Structure 1
Amino acid sequence: MSTSEPPNWRHCAHGADPAADPVGCRGIHVPGHTVCFAHLANSDRDAYLAGLAPGASIDHRGTTFTESLLDALLNALRDPATGNPRLEGI
């Protein structure tokens, strides 16, 4: 997404630059943090993932995912009975 308009949610703003990109990262804050899932420190990301369970309500609007970040999130939401991730709130 390339726009100078910020999203209508509290967003990460990582990498914001007044001249090049005044909005920065548009990923929504992870609850209890001021950055998105992609920009959490490793220890904070690990703690967030450990607190998730299959069917957890999640919101990662605007967040850019790498393959490894998506895999980590889906693994935290994996239902042991089915082996499949169970998502809510998306």
Structure 2
Amino acid sequence: MEATPTTFQVNGAVIRKLRMKAGLSTAEAAKRARISARYLNHLENGYRTRMRPGSYTRLRTALGLPADSDQLLALAEDPPEER
């Protein structure tokens, strides 16, 4: 059984894109996810990049994504090439 991560690293640009696609303002999406609009704004602008599991789940739900979706997650950077 896998343990739940303590935080999720998210992609703010994807969050903004999905929020806008859903037709939600920052305030509306934040209210649905039970997070502050300022926190959501910080995520979207890259000032913050990590979310706790509860907040992450609520935001994913507020944006209408399925439970198994990982669309909000930041992709791991490719390892540097060897010379």
TM-score by length of 2: 0.26
More strand by percentage: 2
More helix by percentage: 2
